[in-house]
Amino acid sequence: MRGSRSPSGNGGEEVSRVSSRHLGHGMGLAASAAFFGWLGSWIGERVGAESALTLLGILFGGAAGLCNMYIQLVVRPRENDESKGEPRD
């Protein structure tokens, strides 16, 4: 709706802040998979198993990225809520 604003007046800034945080997590996941894929390819060239080690590197990097994303988005907010003494649902 054009012209409608949130009561605080900074709704656009809040959306931008939250979306940029989640975009950063996605970029971290992609960078992790790409880096470990490259590392697997580099090692695989020297060993003679490039395609297998590239695939393993991508899978390992994706798993590491997902684990990091889970910690950042689920575990840490839960720990912060518990340290503040707020009851969980």
Average pLDDT over residues 6-22: 71
Cα-to-chain-centroid distance, residue 62: 10
**pLDDT for residue 54 is more than 80:** yes
pLDDT at 64: 94
pTM of the predicted model, to two decimals? Answer: 0.69
Which segment of 56-60, 73-77, 82-86 scores lowest on mean pLDDT?
82-86
**pLDDT for residue 71 is more than 50:** yes
CA distance 43 to 35: 12
**pLDDT range class, residue 33, cuts 50, 70, 90:** very high
SS (H, E, C) 21-49: HHHHHHHHHHHHHHHHHHHHHHHHHHHCC
Taking residue 43's Cβ as centre, other Cβ atoms within 10 Å add up to 15
